[in-house]
Copies of this chain bind each other. A is one copy, B any other.
Amino acid sequence: MPHTLTSNAYGKSRVRLTKVVRNPQDPNHHGVYEFNVNITLTGDFAASYTDGDNTKIVATDSQKNTVYVLARENDFDSPDAFAKLLATHFVETYEQVTAADVRVHQTLLTRVSIDGTPHPHSFVGGSTETRTARCSVTPEGTRCCGGISGMVVLKSAGSVFVDFVDDRFRTLPDTTERIFATTVESTWRFTSPDADFNAAYDAIRPAFIKVFAENHSLAVQQTLLEMGGAALDAAPAIDRIDLEMPNQHRVPFNLEPFGHANDATIFVTTDEPAGMIRGTVERS
């Protein structure tokens, strides 16, 4: 029975870059970017699969070098700009590359302040939250998306869940007071590859947090949609946003066997199982 290679792609993943940017006016004042880069190329590579003929293969090691060299040769002020720079490079440089998809995760570093003064070159890190960017250059054009990954938020009031399907598989009671904890994963689509990427990020993150805090949540679903809508309102440069919000349960510990009422104070913290709620919101 014959068979055919019907699609293929390759690239380099987990290329980690630290770039120090010195302020020309004040060379002792540093900015630091920490990026984790993933590259996927598609194009005329079938001969490598079928015959081991690598003459059109840009080695993934060369792709890795490209990340560091282009970071040196170019200025950029966002992970989105760096993703666009790389994706464009691969398509423009190699005839056999028909499309390049570059994803960048930026580790967040917060500048240290000492006695209220920002320090010129010291930072605190360690957040699970990253800023993400993705740029795809294809024959149809250039598409850029920004995002937030791993943003952990928790509220200990203002979340209820009632009136859901009641059948033989249900044991959960209606809950009028619960903890709502989640790790937000979101990506948004820019209408133009020339958008102001930082303006969107700077507007969307606080919009998420404000809605999460203030929305009286009737369901994770409802909060998710409101967060997506707020992001669209805050960032005119985007026209679509995807959100995924796991419901990371804090399960009430049953205090009754120990002579106490269950008064929404003591919970078992869990990672799994988790609810998983997704939605896409677009301008209409």
Contacts and interface: CB of A to CB of B under 8 A. Distances in A.
A241 to B, nearest CB: 9
Range of interface residues on A (Cβ < 8 Å): 35 or more
A283 B162 CA distance: 50
Given A16-B268, A17-B266, A151-B124, A164 B213 contact: no
Interface of A: 1-22, 28, 30, 32, 34, 36, 38, 40, 45, 48-66, 68-69, 71-73, 94, 109, 112, 114, 119-129, 150-158, 161-165, 167-172, 179, 183, 209-210, 212-214, 217-222, 224-225, 228-229, 232-233, 236, 240, 246-247, 250, 253, 255, 257-260, 264-284
A105 to B, nearest CB: 11
Contacts of A212: 112, 122
A69 B10 contact: no
Contact of A269 (B16, B167, B236, B274): B16
Contacts of A124: 151-153, 209
A281 B12 contact: no
B120 A157 contact: yes
Question: Chain A interface mostly helix, strand, loop or mixed?
Answer: mixed
Contact of A50 (B53, B165, B222, B273): B222
Contacts of A281: 3-6
A113 to B, nearest CB: 9
A17 B265 CA distance: 10
A49 B277 CA distance: 10
A158 B153 CA distance: 35
A83 to B, nearest CB: 16
Contacts of A50: 222, 225
Given A265-B21, A284-B4, A274 B12 contact: yes
18 contacts: A1-B283, A7-B279, A15-B273, A16-B268, A18-B179, A18-B269, A20-B265, A22-B265, A54-B161, A59-B170, A61-B171, A65-B171, A65-B258, A72-B258, A73-B260, A119-B214, A122-B153, A122-B212
